[in-house]
Structure 1
Amino acid sequence: MTRKSPDGRRTTSKKNTTKKVQATRGGTSGRSSSASRRTSSSKRTSSKRSNSSTRRPKRNLLPKFNFSLDLQQKALVVGIILIFTTGILVLSLISPNRGILPMTLERWLRTLFGWGGILVPLFMAGTGIYLVLWGMDQPPRFSGWRVTGAVLLFLVFSTFASLIVVNQSEGVLDYMAVARNQQGGGYLGGVLAGLSVQAFDTIGTVFILLILGLLGAILVSGVSRTDFGAFITAAWQGLRERPVREAVPEQRPLPLGNARREPVRPNRPVRDLPRNEPPPPPDDDIPFEVDQEPPAAETAAPAAAATRNGSRGRRNTAAQPAEPEIAATPPTDLDEPEGQLQREPNWQLPVLAEVLESGSDQEISNDSIREQVEVIEHTLESFGAPAIVVDINQGPTVTQFGVEPQFLEMRGGKRTKVKVGKIASLADDLALALAAHSVRVQAPVPGKGYVGIEVPNTATALVSLRDLMESGDYQKIKSPVRIGLGQNVAGQPVCTDLSKMPHLLVAGTTGSGKSVCVNAIIACLLLENTPEELKFVMVDPKRVELTGYNGIPHLVAPVVVEMDRVIGVLQWAIREMENRYKRFAEIGARNIVEYNKKMGRKKRNKLPYIVIVIDELADLMMLSPEETERGISRLAQMARATGMHMIIATQRPSVDVVTGLIKANFPARIAFAVASSTDSRVILDSTGAERLLGKGDMLFQSPDAAAPVRLQGCYVSEDELDRLIDYWKTARRYNLITAEDAQARSLIEERSVTLPEGEYEAAPPSRRVSTPPPPPAAPEPAAEIEESDEAEEILAPDIVEVPPEFAPVAAPAAPPPVTTATTIEQPPLWEDLVEREQEEEFDDDLLEEAITAVREMNKASTSLLQRRFRIGYTRAARIIDYMEEKGIIGPPTGTSKARDVLDLTPEE
């Protein structure tokens, strides 16, 4: 017997050595003993063979049958049995000639469920059909909540049936007697009705059953919380408005927009006004236009308006007979930004169901999933990386297989786990084995204990923006700039808050879905915010993607398409950001949320969010890279607190376009399909985007996430965008018509002032006034409304005289007319800024002296100005360039000769 010593050498034990020596000394005795041992062992072997031959079992000649069924086959068998049983029950209920078994079944059903026994076969048939379809790999979409609602309705029906049959004063035993007679709701309804009546009395039981029945109907119908809330709001508004409509007599309509009818103060006498008053001429100089609308007596009746606002979380103020509200006085200590309205108009958000459409789902068969699992496990094992699939997540575009690495048997009995990098390196081999377009391996999945292998689906599901906005994840985000991006590999909606990003960089090749993503984000913001809550600044050098938004009231100015104006846009945004910081400092606010809260308490105007959308960054960087990079970086660093956010898209993600300074200030990025892994690293600082499939397949890098998440972006069609844009273009509003104006016009109405027919009818939603009509003849003098001595009287727009405290603060010298135009033409804010800055750029103290000197010497050059005025080269060159631009001197000659002077006449 050998054993290892501590130093690793093999040693032989003393006992074995002694035995060997004794055996050698023994000689013949040892040989004889060994021979005897051989003889005994041979005898034992022969006896074992004989026993084994005698105990050999007989061959089974009967065939073996395998009756094992999988889950789908079992469901198919159970479904067929249920359908067959349902047929027997139906025949037992309707057939006059019945056997013992049908009669027994009928008696049991009527005794247990009473009148509800008729519904039991229907339930069994539905369950059987569902199981049969599920066993045939065609399961219908069925929710457990619908089943719960159906059961709840059945219980309510049984209880009501027992209450109808039994008298109120009778007890539980009488309910049981009715059940034995196969009436009412049977034993089930009798027990529930008897216990409920004893506990809550009959009235309480009926009330509880009504609530439970309503709840069951909601669960069965699948009505969303938004639609149900809109229905309740509309019903409540109708109940509140009914006594008001009965009390208020019918009156002649006036052009008051959405303004509410206000009670008339008796201390305001009105003199007669001339009839047939012509409408005032429209004025294109004002930054907004006001629509007309019928009086509140007619607009309050339809419940559609309440439904529209109820479904979006806002009530229609025109449909509420509330107390008169006086418009808040605009602030005088803070200068309002140009283009900002002085009074909040009555904007109404569009209804989601009227603008957007629902998406579609694609189901993958279980057989296909099982085949892919087997292929993945076999491929990994064949390449020396054994692993098993432990999780499967099916998304709209890809299916993620969660693979857990296994152990490898090494020499010497050691076990080593497969490295994650080994599985990641087999992406191309997996794509070949699965016959897939591309396979992406995420090693490992953040927060999970496995490696994700993402395989494209055979059919892609359509992810709609409506489904995202109606999801619970979207509703949980409490922010005015919340957006929906798409669904992840598990089919879960992914929504985020733009204010927390706070800027977004989108990059991808042509046709990868980049423009659709930008349009979906814009549509999401337009559906959630009014023009008073959100403003857009759009830059579209390609003149294709964003120009269709021209005309919506959310735009600060028309979409910028000229490249030379983009720098002015960035300069305007920087100046607006600095002005907002000054406003915050004046009232002690840190960000736009605190500022708007304080402005709301002080009854002042709030600041809107501003979203700057730049469709193509590469064109800007080619034209003026330094100015573009400087402006974007400054806005990205400081504009978050002021409520200004940027969304920048590019189809050329190279290092000279997406520079390191820009990337450092854009932590939130979206990468669509790109050409190479180098472009993917430019966007995400990691590879993976080169393996995307295109058509909305993207990687989203969130600021608070460790790794990018794969999403299928939501799709917004051209028809949906057109409906949304047309809605905002034709949105009706009233801005300068306040509650006091409504009182004044109601006074005119009571004095029976007639207006020409058709003069003040509101324009249809599809009408847009592009050119102003010719001005009418001069109107006759208007009547006056006598007021108190609190303020002087000023003339209202050709209709009545309105006191100054009721007039708009920011009204122009000419009174703003009421026009039928439905769009808002807002002047561009940055054009004058660029011209003014260019003029300030050449405002040099030596400019006039330099022009005079050049005219006197009849020649001009940079060195001449340097010697004459003792200035530097840069300042002299700027003066020379300015004089060339103004036509005072000619262009450079190309030699060392001085320039010619073209304008020798001094300006007067």
Structure 2
Amino acid sequence: MAYQTRGRDPLLDSSMAEAIEKRGKELAGLVLLAIGMMATAMILTYHPDDPSWMSATDAPVKNWMGHLGASIAATVFMVIGWGALGFAIMICGWGLRFTLHQGEDRAVSRLIFAPIWLALLSLFAATLTPGTSWSATHSFGLGGLFGDTVLATLMGLLPFGAGLSLKLLSLIMAALSVGVGLFVLGASRRELLLAARFLLVGVIMSYATFRAMLGRGATGAAHASMGLKSGVQGHLQRRAERRAEEAAYAEEEERAARIVPPAPARKLRAEPSLVNRQPNAPAAQAAPKTAPVAAPAPAPAPKPEPEKTGGLLSRMPSLIRRPEPEPEPELVDREYHGDLPDTPGPDRIRAKIADAIKSRRHPTEEELEVQEIPADKPLTKGRGRGPDPLLLAPRSAQLPPEPPLTAAQARVPQAPMQEPVNDFATDGAYDDAAYDDSDFAIYDDEDNLPPEPVLQARPRIPAAEPKKVVQHPPRKAPQPSTQARAEAQPALQFEEKPQFDFELPALSLLTNPAKIERHHLSDEALEENARMLENVLDDYGVKGEIVSVRPGPVVTMYELEPAPGLKASRVIGLADDIARSMSALSARVSTVPGRSVIGIELPNDNREMVVLRELLASRDFGDSNMRLPLALGKDIGGDPVISSLAKMPHLLIAGTTGSGKSVAINTMILSLLYKLTPEDCRLIMIDPKMLELSVYDGIPHLLSPVVTDPKKAVVALKWVVAEMEERYRKMSKMGVRNIDGYNSRVEDALSRGEMFSRTVQTGFDDETGEPVFETDEFAPEKMPYIVVIVDEMADLMMVAGKEIEACIQRLAQMARASGIHLIMATQRPSVDVITGTIKANFPTRISFQVTSKVDSRTILGEMGAEQLLGMGDMLYMAGGGKITRCHGPFVSDEEVEEVVSHLKAYGPPDYVGGVQEGPEEDKASNIDAVLGLNTGGNTDGEDALYDQAVQIAITDRKCSTSYIQRKLAIGYNKAARLVEQMEEEGVVSPANHVGKREILVPEQ
């Protein structure tokens, strides 16, 4: 059974469907064109230093397509080199075809061969010789890795020399690239024939044009001479007609002058040919003209001269200054004629037209009379009329009343500021035939003259612009270190990571500086602040000028050039007043070393946070040769400040609570942990506050657990002194001067598998009497650096100030060569904590914010630390007294914990037992003797002194501290201890009321 099905009508008719299909292709073509242009920009702006998945850098992206474009361009260039340009050409070509509906149906069949075309382009680019800049930044040629590989294979197959093979392959690849490229781009035979036809026609037209130009040269002179001759004749005829008209105008002028005599007025000498003629003020506004220049000074009225009726040369100034054809003047009479005779309307209109034309052609002296003297006004560019000149008050009493048509004031044109050109003919006896006017035959018609050249006014002296004081110091782009580039470049999965016993922490454990908000003040705001600061200083009687403004991340320094005779101390003493007047938290004023200016540092409204990762990732830290680098922060200009603890060689830090002192110590510790392994550096941390440094307990770099007991801290410092003495003995045996020389000797010996030996004389031979030597061998072992970090020195000085000071003095004086360095911090920088002995042995100091000027002078020797902002703002005094303001980086507790967890993963630390337990008794007594601390138990030497003191007291029957001091030639304190010991043992009695003691032991 068959069912009948009714055919459904289509939703859209054929014409509508075809139109939609065309619009869709056009839209697709436009999209392809946009993609092709972006691809072209991406490829043409490719730069090898842009960040990508193959290279990591903090430099700004130079590719126009941003980070994505830089990554894609780097990948494509690495594979096929400059053959990547074929992508952009292909996309743009097919986008144009889809847009113009030219051969878009051939897209699929042609684009199949696109990879072959790209390969040919890459191979052709590989045959080209790269430049020096390309070779310096790339490890492959212009054709990428693919082009280099295929080119090497093909050159190996050809039986020619390298040079000939390269040139032959270059020609072949060029021809193939062009042919295949035309095929891929969809070129048909008809299009190729059409293009060839256009090229042929263009060549023929160029050749014909060239021949025509050569033909003109032969007949050009004849045509020119004929043209000049006809032009001269026409010009003479027009001049005769003009003379006839001028005679008629003169007669009409005389008739009008008889009716109303001219009013007296102040006159200005002016040359009619030099005046820009304009009928009246409204007409001048309707017809823009070249702006007039300043009028010359008034001169006495000239004597009446006969009418100038010279030839063409006499009218040369007016010819060369004549503007474009002027509009017809309005029907405005410039003069008041009083009671004119009753004439018919048309005759009166014709008379006014004649007067207007006459005033346009030849203005009379009456028309040149000055009614108002305009002030100077500048020239304006182009042909437009500039602003109206300023008008002085007219002398209305000397002028007759004006009719309604001339009620508006008419501006009198000003003479240009140029030397006037004198007319050649001044009388009627001038003969035109005596001069050759053929040179002026180019003016075929008087009304079609060339435009008037723009009058050049006298050069005006420009107003002195204010000196630009905002200076952005040239700052080199931050270069990432080797570690930062290695971490930013992801390792491929098939690459095996090398295995090490210890791996330094990764920078990814710290805060990324890209997340930090940056604040920048505009130059206008800085200029305004500089001017305001000058006014504030002027209010306090300080004369000077702000010559430079140097903005930074935290503070901005204004450099003041003081007036001669102004003392710097006077400006420095105004720091608090300047801060109050500028509405700033604080202001630091100091001299700039090496310059004659005074630096005034004011805090920024929005403070940038300095991140530790940004400093550790810099090349100054990661790739430097410093033994013990410390990332201190950034200076005023924002540049990183990296210092070496090995060169300091010890560091003293002071600052109040909350000034950033403990955070700075954490950043210094992390700087060492990110740079050195446990074999290179060991740490001893003393933290009497039991809070700040306890988080590092258990890392492999420690020589002992974190010391929190002040008494054990004294023991630890004495162990460090003993270690220093032991290292000096080893270096003495080796014959080196410092730890670097010792370690280099050890490395050389370990690389050769040798043992250290030293020849020692043990005596003399009994038979021959010659000396006898023995060889002492010992295993070489590298000595690591030891850094002792004391977080709070004031607590230790309160418990055992004398012993602590003796140990610190001994270490500060001698520990540098042995590789032992101290970092000591205190929050109470008073003279009882930072004694003169400690200051003398710590030339490198850092001061954070303190409470008073006295504390600032105690730590730095000068004021300024009390004006700091806190939160890491510091003054860094390097050896030599040069002080630099730095902004310390911030590191959070979470970052410290992550780094510590990473270090603890490599096993427990190798502690040295004697650090907290103390050395053996004999070594301890020797250390006390070295330090002069024989307070506990008498040594053999002191026992001998005691026996001598007892013998003197029994023999002389006299005992006092000063007497024992003189007899034994010892110090007063030691003599007092001996007397007290004799009193305890019953040798002498206690002192009576006059200080005398009795000898209780009978005389022997």
Q: Return the TM-score normalized by structure 1.
A: 0.52
Deviation, structure 1 residue 523: 2.0
| 1:551–1:824 contact (8 Å) kept in structure 2 | no
Please name the residue that 2:559 is paired with. 402
Deviation, structure 1 residue 665: 1.6
String of CA shifts for 1:496-518, please: whole Å, max 9, x gaps.
11101110010111221112211
Query: Which range moves more in the overlay, 654-663 or 491-500?
Result: 654-663
2:534 aligned residue (365, 368, 377): 377
Please name the residue that 2:503 is paired with. 348
Alignment of 1:470-509 (within 5 A): 470-509=617-656
String of CA shifts for 1:214-243, please: whole Å, max 9, x gaps.
xxxxxxxx998535435879549x45xxxx
Please name the residue that 1:333 is paired with. none
Larger Rg: 2
Deviation, structure 1 residue 892: 10
Query: Which range moves more in the overlay, 455-464 or 432-441?
Result: 455-464
**SS of residue matched to 1:602:** helix
Deviation, structure 1 residue 655: 2.2
| 2:684–2:703 contact (8 Å) kept in structure 1 | yes
1:674 aligned residue (850, 854, 860): 850
2:516 aligned residue (335, 360, 366): 360
Please name the residue that 2:125 is paired with. 196
Please name the residue that 1:829 is paired with. 915
User: Measured at CA, do residues 847 and 176 of structure 1 come closer, stay the same or move farther in structure 2, by a change above 3 Å?
Assistant: closer
**Is residue 572 of structure 2 the alignment partner of residue 652 of structure 1?**
no
1:207 aligned residue (136, 144, 153): 144
Deviation, structure 1 residue 671: 0.6
Q: Which runs of 5+ in 1 are unaligned?
A: 1-93, 124-140, 168-172, 212-221, 240-302, 307-314, 318-345, 408-415, 733-821, 855-860, 901-908
| 2:519–2:553 contact (8 Å) kept in structure 1 | no
**Is residue 739 of structure 2 the alignment partner of residue 592 of structure 1?**
yes
Please name the residue that 1:731 is paired with. 906
1:636 aligned residue (783, 787, 812): 812
Please name the residue that 1:716 is paired with. 891
User: Measured at CA, do residues 155 and 562 of structure 1 come closer, stay the same or move farther in structure 2, by a change above 3 Å?
Assistant: closer
**Is residue 862 of structure 2 the alignment partner of residue 707 of structure 1?**
no
**Is residue 507 of structure 2 the alignment partner of residue 316 of structure 1?**
no
Please name the residue that 1:842 is paired with. 938
Deviation, structure 1 residue 105: 14
| 2:481–2:618 contact (8 Å) kept in structure 1 | no
Please name the residue that 1:755 is paired with. none
The residue identity in structure 1 corresponding to 2:588 is R
Please name the residue that 2:717 is paired with. 570
State percent identity of aligned pairs: 33
Matched residues in 2 for 1:164 and 1:716: separation?
Answer: 45
2:581 aligned residue (430, 433, 452): 433
| 2:544–2:561 contact (8 Å) kept in structure 1 | yes
Please name the residue that 1:614 is paired with. 790
Deviation, structure 1 residue 419: 6.1
| 1:698–1:713 contact (8 Å) kept in structure 2 | yes
Matched residues in 2 for 1:556 and 1:570: separation?
Answer: 12
Please name the residue that 2:450 is paired with. none
Matched residues in 2 for 1:174 and 1:538: separation?
Answer: 67
Deviation, structure 1 residue 190: 13
String of CA shifts for 1:508-567, please: whole Å, max 9, x gaps.
112211122112211221222222211122222333323333323322223333333443
The residue identity in structure 1 corresponding to 2:913 is P
User: Measured at CA, do residues 155 and 517 of structure 1 come closer, stay the same or move farther in structure 2, by a change above 3 Å?
Assistant: closer
User: Measured at CA, do residues 864 and 730 of structure 1 come closer, stay the same or move farther in structure 2, by a change above 3 Å?
Assistant: same
Deviation, structure 1 residue 143: 2.4
| 2:575–2:589 contact (8 Å) kept in structure 1 | yes
**Is residue 606 of structure 2 the alignment partner of residue 462 of structure 1?**
no
The residue identity in structure 1 corresponding to 2:729 is K
Alignment of 1:887-902 (within 5 A): none
Deviation, structure 1 residue 463: 1.5
The RMSD of aligned alpha carbons is 5.3
Matched residues in 2 for 1:417 and 1:120: separation?
Answer: 64
User: Measured at CA, do residues 512 and 884 of structure 1 come closer, stay the same or move farther in structure 2, by a change above 3 Å?
Assistant: farther
User: Measured at CA, do residues 831 and 384 of structure 1 come closer, stay the same or move farther in structure 2, by a change above 3 Å?
Assistant: same
Matched residues in 1 for 2:20 and 2:555: separation?
Answer: 54
String of CA shifts for 1:776-798, please: whole Å, max 9, x gaps.
xxxxxxxxxxxxxxxxxxxxxxx
**SS of residue matched to 2:607:** coil
1:684 aligned residue (860, 874, 879): 860
String of CA shifts for 1:25-73, please: whole Å, max 9, x gaps.
xxxxxxxxxxxxxxxxxxxxxxxxxxxxxxxxxxxxxxxxxxxxxxxxx
**SS of residue matched to 1:199:** coil
Q: Which runs of 5+ in 2 are unaligned?
A: 1-18, 44-57, 99-106, 131-139, 149-478, 751-779, 927-936, 951-956
Matched residues in 2 for 1:862 and 1:723: separation?
Answer: 70
Alignment of 1:154-173 (within 5 A): 163=83
**SS of residue matched to 2:914:** coil
**SS of residue matched to 1:645:** strand
**SS of residue matched to 1:555:** coil
Matched residues in 2 for 1:663 and 1:526: separation?
Answer: 28
Matched residues in 2 for 1:404 and 1:846: separation?
Answer: 65
Please name the residue that 1:284 is paired with. none
Alignment of 1:750-769 (within 5 A): none
**SS of residue matched to 1:499:** coil
Deviation, structure 1 residue 600: 0.6
Please name the residue that 1:443 is paired with. 591
User: Measured at CA, do residues 208 and 493 of structure 1 come closer, stay the same or move farther in structure 2, by a change above 3 Å?
Assistant: same
Matched residues in 2 for 1:178 and 1:161: separation?
Answer: 22
The residue identity in structure 1 corresponding to 2:904 is K
User: Measured at CA, do residues 545 and 153 of structure 1 come closer, stay the same or move farther in structure 2, by a change above 3 Å?
Assistant: closer
| 1:883–1:889 contact (8 Å) kept in structure 2 | yes
| 2:123–2:143 contact (8 Å) kept in structure 1 | no
Deviation, structure 1 residue 709: 0.8
The residue identity in structure 2 corresponding to 1:347 is F
**SS of residue matched to 2:733:** helix
Please name the residue that 2:728 is paired with. 581
Deviation, structure 1 residue 437: 0.9
Matched residues in 2 for 1:637 and 1:200: separation?
Answer: 62
| 2:83–2:125 contact (8 Å) kept in structure 1 | no
| 1:671–1:683 contact (8 Å) kept in structure 2 | yes
| 1:441–1:454 contact (8 Å) kept in structure 2 | yes
Deviation, structure 1 residue 356: 5.5
Please name the residue that 2:702 is paired with. 555
**Is residue 549 of structure 2 the alignment partner of residue 392 of structure 1?**
yes
Please name the residue that 1:767 is paired with. none
Matched residues in 1 for 2:885 and 2:542: separation?
Answer: 25
| 1:442–1:452 contact (8 Å) kept in structure 2 | yes
Please name the residue that 2:199 is paired with. none
The residue identity in structure 2 corresponding to 1:226 is Q
| 1:515–1:545 contact (8 Å) kept in structure 2 | yes
Matched residues in 1 for 2:672 and 2:683: separation?
Answer: 10
| 2:630–2:645 contact (8 Å) kept in structure 1 | yes
Please name the residue that 1:510 is paired with. 657
Q: How many pairs are equivalent?
A: 557
Matched residues in 2 for 1:691 and 1:635: separation?
Answer: 33
The residue identity in structure 1 corresponding to 2:60 is S
Alignment of 1:742-821 (within 5 A): none
